[in-house]
Structures are given as structure tokens and as C-alpha cells.
Structure 1
Amino acid sequence: MTIRGPEALASLEEALRDIRREEDEISKRLARATDIITKMRETEAELFRKLAQVRLDPSVQRELEGRISQSESKAREMLKSHAEALAGTESELAEIDAEINRLTGDRGEALKDVEAHQGELKALSTRIGGVVAKDPAYAQKRAQADELQAIAAQSMRKTEQAEADRDEKGKPYRDDPLFIYLWDRGYGTVNYRANNLIRYLDGLVANLIGFAKTRPNFAMLNEIPLRLREHAERQMQNAAAAEAELDALETAAIDAAGGKPIREALEKAQARIEAIDAEIVAAEDRRDAAAKELSSLAQGGDPAFEQALTTLADALGREDIRTLLAEARRTSTGQDDTLVAQIDEARARGKDEEGDIREQRARLKTLAARRRELEDIQWEFKKARFDDPRSTFREDKLVGDMLTEFLRGGISAASYWDHWRRSQNWSAGTSDWGGGLGLPNRGRASSTPWPPGGGGFQWPDTSFGGGGGKSKSGGGGGFGGGWGSRPTGGGFSRPRTGSTGTRKHGGFKTGGGF
């Protein structure tokens, strides 16, 4: 079963909400556990006061009780401030979550507007496509664009083959330490610099390995791909210029047929989505900072809180306190035994809570990392325009079993994102993006200007940023040739704190036949 782009994005957003919800719950559990430890310390202090009343003479008892009470009073003031900071951060998180949910809803509505305008343009392009295709100027430009696309594709294929040869055939050279030593020193070139002794010794090495014969071969292996890539990039620029001219003709035809208001409304909806995405990034970054702050506070990371606990712990860990407890253990009176048992119980409860805190800390750290990775994937998803209404995915398990596996750490973020890219398609008649070229493959066959059955006019792609560079989709190579290499690593480009949050990419597919 296939999944449409908007539904796929909604699934990722729901997973993000679930992660954030669990982060909040764990932070609250950590706060409760930390609060319990604090209360256990206070209970322990009270029990020691009672034990002192039983076992110590009044003067020593007053001195010990005064010390404990002073520590408790100081700690309570610090803990009150800590509780206020914790409540404030929780409130901030709730407000940011509400803002993110609102922005996500607004984005969904804007995306519906995009889909509606796309449908209107497609209907219009279907109506005028046959007429435009017969226009001699358009047919000539289309033929030129197809030819330049084919040339660029062939140039890139040759470039990639040369680069593969360089990596494979150049390995024996690179693995030879004597050869690579002379190569790095520039031996045999005008760049070589050495004193007479070193020149003499390098000459012996060069003669030994036949460097004069092998160096030109290695130089050629390195030089050819560079020249081919320069040539391929020029061809890509030529193809891009031809596509831009074709876009201009198509835009003019759409506008002449009364489509300008629709096109402008579509561009407005796209601009709205871009603005919302920037707001979402900023809100997510604020939430990330607030979540870190809440986690730190919940774990007792506040300096005031740490000092409060330390103050109490120091008071309860003094030598006279330890002596008092040890002597109480050695005697066998009912009141002593009860108090000692209660102290032991309070300390055991505190240790149990400390163990739970360690586990929850580890879980919270994992969740935070997974959330950030999912935010990266969500960003790339939007950047690649996979949320376009005409984008589809072959594998429904991407939002089922595979998503669960990713959240559990079974697959990496890079691998999960690559599955999305490999599964992605554009619906019938939808243009794809050229592989390494960054140009739209507009569905044009070399022999016919339109898809089979007169499938409608190919509306020009419109970028969010008003003509920004167009990104690759995951589906197929450039210009129908399959030569475009797809990245498989996790080099996510989502801006983090300190950036503007504006994404530059190709925008939604906007045209008729797409």
C-alpha cells in the first residue's frame, strides 16, 4: 500500500509528539524521584534528631539538633527556588508544545491550499497543453532542452566512470609508500624542493621504483576526472539555462490562459509554508533548550539544589552522626531499634530512587538523541518536497515497523532516511528531479513533447525562495538516465540554534502534468 506525502509527514510529526510526550513524562518522574530523595534526607534528619533525644545528654543533643535544623532551613530555601524554576520550565515547555502544534496545523491547512491550486493548474494545463505543444517556438526550445539534458547526463556518466577508475586503478599507486612519498614531495616537477643530499637519495628511490614511468599514469588518472567534471558542470549549466527558457514559455502560456491568479495564489501558499517551517525550526530549537533545562533541573542539576542536598548530606554524614548511629546499632532497646530501622529504610528508599534516576537519565538521553534525529529527517523530508501532495511512497512500513525499529535504535537515522528516499515516487505525470543535475525531469520523452495520451502541460517548478536551487528527490537518476548518484550518509542539513531556520530548496511541484 502506498502512502501520500502529507500523510507520511503527519506520521513523522506524530512520532515526534510521542517522543516529546515521553521526554516530558520521564522528566517529571525524575523530578518526583529527586524530590523523594530530598524528603528521605529530611526524614533521616528528623529520625537522627529523635535518636539524639534518646541517646545524648541535653547539651550535646541541642548542639547536634541545632546543626541539623540549620542545614534543613538553608536547604528548604534553596529547594523552594529550585521548585519554582522547575515549574517555570515545565510551563515554558507546555507553551512551546502548543505553539508547535498550532504551527503544524497551520502548515497542514496551507498544504491543502497548495494541493487545491495544483489541481486547478493541472486542469488548466490539460486544456491548453495540446495547443502549447504545437507552438513552433516551444517545440524548438523543448527539443533543445532535451538534447542538452541528454548531453549533460552523458557527461556526468563519463565523469563518474572516470572518478571510479581513479579510485580503483589509483589504489596500487596510493598503497605504495615510496611512490606516494615522491608524489607528495612533487618529485619530477617544478614544485620539487630539496637540498643536494635529499635530491640524491630521492633519485635513488625514484630509479628503484621506476617513478619516471609510473608518475605520468597516476597524474593522468587524477587529471582526467577533474577535466571531465568541469565539462559536465558546464553542460549542466547549459541544460539549466534551457530549462529556464522553457519554464518561461510555459509560465507565459499559463498566464495567458488565465492561470496567473492561480499561480500567484499557489506561490503565496508555498511562501506561507516556508515561513511556517522557519517558525517550527525556531520553536523546536527553543523547546530543545527548554527540555535540556528541565532535564537538568529534574535530575538536580540546579547548583542551588545540589548545594541544598550537599548541605543536608554533609550534616548527616558528620563523624558524630555516624558514631551515634553505630552506637545505636550496638545496643538493643526497642526505641533505638525502631529509629535505626526507620533510618535504614529511608536510606534504602533513597538508594532505590537513585538507581531509578540513573535508568531514567539513560532513557532520557536516548530519547533526546532520537528526537533530534527525527527532527533532522523531518527537515530533509520537507526540503526534498516529499510532503508534496503528489509525492508517494511504496512502503507503508516506513511509518510502521521501520519507524518503530528506528525509534528503538535498530537502524540509524541515515539508513531510515535512505529508505524514505528509495521508496519515494511522484504520482503519474509528476515531474521528478534530475539526479546530480538538480533540474526537473519533466516527464518529456525524446520523441514526444507530452506524456502519453496528451497528459497535460508541464507546469514549471516554482521554488519557495523565488528560484533557489532545486533539490534531488530520491526517485531515480537524472534525465531518465539513472546516472545521478544519491547520497546515503546521514549528512543532515537541518539548521540548529543560531541559524535563521530558512530552508532553500526547490519548492513544491506546481504544474499541470507534473
Structure 2
Amino acid sequence: MSIRGPEALASLEEAMRDIRREEDEISRRLARSADRITKIRETEAELFRQLAQLRLDPAVQSELDGTITGAEARAREQLKAHAKALSAAEGALAETDATLARLTGERAEALRDYERHQSELKALAGRLGASIAKDPVFAAKQAELAELTSVADQAMRKTQQAEQDREAKGKPYRDDPLFMYLWEAGYGTPNYRAGNLVRYFDGMVANLVGYHKARPNFAVLNEIPLRLREHAERQAELAQKGQEELDQLETAAIDAAGGKAIREAMETSQARIDALDAQIVDAEDARDEAAKALSELAEGRDPAFSGALGELAAALGREDIQTLLADARRTRTGQDDTIVAQIDDARSRIRAEEEETSDQRERLKVLAARRRELEDIQWEFKKQRFDDPRSTFREDRLVGDLLNDFLRGGISAAAYWDQWRRSQNWSAGTNDWGGGIGLPDNGRQRSSNPWIDAGFSWPDSSFGGGSSGRSRPRSGGFGGGWGGGSSSGGGFSRPRSGSKGTRKHSGFKTGGGF
């Protein structure tokens, strides 16, 4: 079962919201845990005061009580300030979440506008297909483009075969260290530079390996693919130029039929989407900073709070207090035993809270890393125009089991993104070349003509017909001479804070040439 681009992006955005919700929940748990630890410490302090009243003389008791009370009071004041700062950080995070929700909603609306205009253009193009196909100027240009395409394909096939031959037939030469030593030294060419003694011994080596006969063969083996590739790239450029000229004819035809206003509306929607994407990146980075600030506060890592809490813990760990506790353990009285048991229980609860806090901190780190990876994937998804309404994905597990595997860490972000790239297609009625005009699909980018992009469909009987519904290739044909397709898995180009990058290519335009 396939899934459309907009729905696929919506699923990724829902997963992102889930991650953010869990981050927020863990931050709240950490904040509550820090609060509980402080209160347990206060309870522990009170228990030690009670124990001191039972076992110490008034003078020592007063000194001990003053030490504990001072540390306790400072911790209590810092806890109040900490709670206030925590509330402000939670508010800042909620504000960035609201901004992201608003921007995401506006982007979805802009994408729906784009899709609506695209459908209007497709309908108009469909009505014009038969008449444009009969135009003699267009037909001539179409035939010329078909010829250029065929020549370019043949040139590239020859180039690829020559490159394969170079690899296979050149291996014995490359595996011979003596031959390669002479080759790299330029022996037998005007570039060779060596003294008389070295020249003498090099001559002996050359005679030994038959270098004089082998060198021309190896040179030709390397030179032919280079020359063929240059030729293939020239042919690709000619075909690209022919495609652009055909685009101009098509655009003129659709504009004459009233399509210009629709195309301009598409461009407006496209520009709006690009502007919103830039704002979303900024908002995501702002949220990342807000989440870090909240996490530090929730974990009690701000210096003032951690210092005050540490001072209270140190006061309760003083040698004289530990001696008091040890003495109480040795002498069994009802009151002593009750207080000692309560102190042990308090310390046990603190250890449990600290263990839970440690686990939650690690989980928070994992979630933050996963969120940034998902942001990277969403960025590439949009940059590659995979959210275009005509983009489809064969594998619906991408938003099911595979998404869950990625979120759990079962597969890397690079592997997950590669699955998206491999599964992507363009829906029926979307063509790589001139809207179904019957040219062969040679693995090239879609035309830059936006009204072709709308899914322009020629009648099946015109120009060979039957070319609609081809999938967009993932990489440029002719060895890259036609421009690139999607990026390779593993490298993400999303700009981060301090790097105001933008998409390499803006606009849906055709869904190609990303």
C-alpha cells in the first residue's frame, strides 16, 4: 500500500510531536524528582535534629542545629528561585511549541493551495494536449529532442562500457608494481625526469616488464573513457537545451490558454512554503535551546540550586552527625530506633530517586538526539520535494514499523532516510519528459516547466503515447551530466544554529532537480 508525500510528511511531524511530548514529560518528572529529593533532605535534617535532642547536651545540640538549619534555609530559598526559573523555562518551551504548531499548520495550508493550483493546471493542460501535440513547431522540436536524447543515451552507454573496460582490462597493469612505478614516473614521455643512474636502471626495469609495448595500450585504455565522457556530457547539454526550448513552447501554449495566473499562484504558494520552512528551522533551533535550558533546570544542574542542595547534603554528612547516627544504632531504645529507621528510609528514597533520575536523564539525551535526527530527515524530505502532492512511496511501513525501528534506535537515521529514497516514486500522470509526450525515460530530471509538472497528459496516440506514470529517477542520467537527484544516505544538510543555510533548490516547480 502506497502513501502520498503530504501524508508521509504529516506522519513524520506526528512522530516529532510525540518525541517532544515525551521530552516535556521527562523534564517534568525530573523537576518533580529534584523537588522530592530536596524535601526528603529537609525531612532527614529534621530527624537528625530530633535525634540530637535525645542524645546530645544542649550546647552541642545548638551548634549542630544551627549548622543544619542554615544549610536547610539556603536550600529552601534556592528551591523557590529554582521553581520560578523552572516555570519560566516551561513557558518559553510552550511558546516555541505553539510557534512550531502554527508554522506547521500554515505550511500544510500553503501546500494544499499548491496542490489545488496544480490540479487546476493539470486539468487545463489535459484539455490542451491534443491541440498542442498537432502544432508543427512543437512536433519538430519534439522530434529534435527525441533524437538528441537518443544520441546522448548512446554516448553515455558507450562511456560506461569504456569505463568498465578500463577497470577490468586495466587491472593487470595496475597490479604490476614495476609497471606502475614507471607509469607514475612518466617513463617514456617528455614528463620523465631522472638522473643518468636512475634512468639506466629504469631502462632495465622497462625491458624486464615489456613497458614500451604495454604503455601505449594502458594509455589508450585510460584516455578513451575520458574522451567519451566529454562527448557524452556535450550531448547531454544539447539535449538539456532542447528540453528547455520545448518547455518554453509548452509554457507559451498554456499561458495563452489562461494558465499564467495559475502558474503564478503556484509560485506564490511555493515561495510561501520556502519562507515557512526557513522559519520552521529557526523555531526548531529556538526550541532546542529552550529544551536544553529546561532540562538543566529540571535536573537541578543550575549552579545555585545544586550548590545549595549539595551544602545541605554535606551538612547532613558531617562526621559528628554520622557519629551521632552510629551511636544511635549501637544503643537500642524505642525512640532512637524509630528515628534511625526513618533516616534510613529517607536515604533509601533519595537513592531510588537518584537512580530514577539517572535513567530519565539518559532517556532525555536519547530523545534529544532522535529529535535532531528526525529534524534532519524532515529537512531532506522537504528539500527533495518528497512532500509534493504527486510524490508517493511504495512502502507504507516507512510510517509504521520502520519509523518505530528508527525511533527505538534499531536503524540509523541514514538507513531510515535511505529507505525513504528507495521507496519514492511519482504518481501516475507525472512525467520526467514533457508530460507524457512519448519520449523514452532515460533517467533524467523532470523538465523545469511547471505546467508539465501539473501532470500534463498527452493522448495515448500522439507521439508514441503511453509514457505517463513514469517514476522520477533518483539520480541524474548521463553520469551526472543532467544534474543530481537525491542526496546519498548518511549525510544531512539541515542548517543548525549559527548556520543560516537554505535549500540548494527552491520551489516545487517540477518535483525534479532538487
Query: What TM-score, normalized by structure 2, do the two folds share?
Result: 0.82
State the secondary structure of the residue aligned to 1:492. coil
Give the conservation status (yes or no) of the 8 Å contact 2:133–2:462: no
AA partner of residue 48 (structure 1)? F
Mean CA deviation greater in 502-511 or 301-310: 502-511
Shift of 1:292: 2.1
The answer for the alignment partner of 1:264 in structure 2 is: 264
Residue 363 (1) aligns with residue 363 (2)? yes
Aligned equivalents of 1:306, 1:343: Cα separation in 2: 22
Find the partner of 2:447 among 440, 447, 461: 440
Aligned equivalents of 2:405, 2:301: Cα separation in 1: 32
Mean CA deviation greater in 9-18 or 493-502: 493-502
Residue 35 (1) aligns with residue 35 (2)? yes
AA partner of residue 242 (structure 1)? G
Aligned equivalents of 2:120, 2:138: Cα separation in 1: 22
Aligned equivalents of 1:192, 1:61: Cα separation in 2: 95
State the secondary structure of the residue aligned to 1:244. helix
Shift of 1:351: 1.1
Give the conservation status (yes or no) of the 8 Å contact 2:244–2:447: no
Q: Identity of paired residues, percent?
A: 69
Give the conservation status (yes or no) of the 8 Å contact 1:114–1:266: yes
State the secondary structure of the residue aligned to 1:30. helix
The answer for the alignment partner of 2:502 in structure 1 is: 502
Mean CA deviation greater in 170-179 or 332-341: 170-179
Aligned equivalents of 1:338, 1:53: Cα separation in 2: 14
CA deviation vs aligned residue, 1:32-57 (integer Å, no higher than 9, x gap): 22222222222222222222222222
Where do residues 107-118 of structure 1 align in structure 2 (5 Å cutoff)? 107-118=107-118
Give the conservation status (yes or no) of the 8 Å contact 1:6–1:387: yes
State the secondary structure of the residue aligned to 1:507. coil
Aligned equivalents of 2:399, 2:147: Cα separation in 1: 40
State the secondary structure of the residue aligned to 1:392. strand
In structure 2, the CA distance between the partners of 1:396 and 1:332, relative to structure 1 (3 Å rule), is: same
Aligned equivalents of 2:348, 2:67: Cα separation in 1: 24
Residue 409 (1) aligns with residue 433 (2)? no
AA partner of residue 263 (structure 1)? R
In structure 2, the CA distance between the partners of 1:159 and 1:275, relative to structure 1 (3 Å rule), is: farther
Shift of 1:283: 0.8
Aligned equivalents of 1:46, 1:198: Cα separation in 2: 91
Aligned equivalents of 1:65, 1:435: Cα separation in 2: 86
The answer for the alignment partner of 2:5 in structure 1 is: 5
In structure 2, the CA distance between the partners of 1:344 and 1:254, relative to structure 1 (3 Å rule), is: same
The answer for the alignment partner of 2:468 in structure 1 is: none
In structure 2, the CA distance between the partners of 1:71 and 1:120, relative to structure 1 (3 Å rule), is: same
Aligned equivalents of 2:403, 2:22: Cα separation in 1: 16
Mean CA deviation greater in 410-419 or 12-21: 410-419
Shift of 1:476: 7.8
Shift of 1:439: 4.6
Residue 452 (1) aligns with residue 452 (2)? no
In structure 2, the CA distance between the partners of 1:275 and 1:54, relative to structure 1 (3 Å rule), is: same
Aligned equivalents of 2:363, 2:223: Cα separation in 1: 51
Where do residues 477-492 of structure 1 align in structure 2 (5 Å cutoff)? 478=477, 488-492=488-492
The answer for the alignment partner of 1:140 in structure 2 is: 140
The answer for the alignment partner of 1:122 in structure 2 is: 122
State the secondary structure of the residue aligned to 1:425. strand
CA deviation vs aligned residue, 1:96-152 (integer Å, no higher than 9, x gap): 111111111111111111111111111211222222222232223223333333444
CA deviation vs aligned residue, 1:73-111 (integer Å, no higher than 9, x gap): 222333333322222221111111111111111111111
The answer for the alignment partner of 1:336 in structure 2 is: 336
Shift of 1:346: 1.2
The answer for the alignment partner of 1:301 in structure 2 is: 301
State the secondary structure of the residue aligned to 1:113. helix
Aligned equivalents of 2:459, 2:142: Cα separation in 1: 13
CA deviation vs aligned residue, 1:166-219 (integer Å, no higher than 9, x gap): 666667777777777777777777777889998899889888877777777776
Aligned equivalents of 1:177, 1:64: Cα separation in 2: 84
Query: What TM-score, normalized by structure 1, do the two folds share?
Result: 0.82
State the secondary structure of the residue aligned to 1:508. coil
In structure 2, the CA distance between the partners of 1:187 and 1:17, relative to structure 1 (3 Å rule), is: farther
The answer for the alignment partner of 1:313 in structure 2 is: 313
The answer for the alignment partner of 1:466 in structure 2 is: none
Mean CA deviation greater in 165-174 or 255-264: 165-174
Query: Unpaired segments of 5 or more residues in structure 1?
Result: 458-471
Where do residues 11-410 of structure 1 align in structure 2 (5 Å cutoff)? 11-161=11-161, 226-410=226-410
In structure 2, the CA distance between the partners of 1:187 and 1:451, relative to structure 1 (3 Å rule), is: farther
Give the conservation status (yes or no) of the 8 Å contact 1:423–1:475: no
In structure 2, the CA distance between the partners of 1:206 and 1:283, relative to structure 1 (3 Å rule), is: farther
The answer for the alignment partner of 1:463 in structure 2 is: none
Shift of 1:265: 1.0
The answer for the alignment partner of 2:426 in structure 1 is: 426
AA partner of residue 447 (structure 2)? P
Aligned equivalents of 2:208, 2:323: Cα separation in 1: 82
Mean CA deviation greater in 306-315 or 184-193: 184-193
Aligned equivalents of 1:489, 1:266: Cα separation in 2: 30
Query: Unpaired segments of 5 or more residues in structure 2?
Result: 434-440, 466-470
State the secondary structure of the residue aligned to 1:440. coil
Aligned equivalents of 1:185, 1:369: Cα separation in 2: 50
Shift of 1:372: 1.6
Give the conservation status (yes or no) of the 8 Å contact 2:417–2:489: no
Aligned equivalents of 1:142, 1:329: Cα separation in 2: 98
Give the conservation status (yes or no) of the 8 Å contact 1:435–1:476: no
Shift of 1:420: 1.8
Give the conservation status (yes or no) of the 8 Å contact 2:26–2:364: yes
In structure 2, the CA distance between the partners of 1:278 and 1:506, relative to structure 1 (3 Å rule), is: closer
Give the conservation status (yes or no) of the 8 Å contact 2:247–2:448: no
Shift of 1:311: 1.5
Give the conservation status (yes or no) of the 8 Å contact 1:435–1:478: yes
In structure 2, the CA distance between the partners of 1:303 and 1:211, relative to structure 1 (3 Å rule), is: farther
In structure 2, the CA distance between the partners of 1:486 and 1:106, relative to structure 1 (3 Å rule), is: closer
- Aligned-residue RMSD, C-alpha: 3.7
Aligned equivalents of 2:342, 2:200: Cα separation in 1: 86
Give the conservation status (yes or no) of the 8 Å contact 2:182–2:206: yes
Aligned equivalents of 2:490, 2:461: Cα separation in 1: 41
AA partner of residue 327 (structure 1)? D
Give the conservation status (yes or no) of the 8 Å contact 1:415–1:488: no
State the secondary structure of the residue aligned to 2:247. helix
Aligned equivalents of 1:83, 1:181: Cα separation in 2: 73
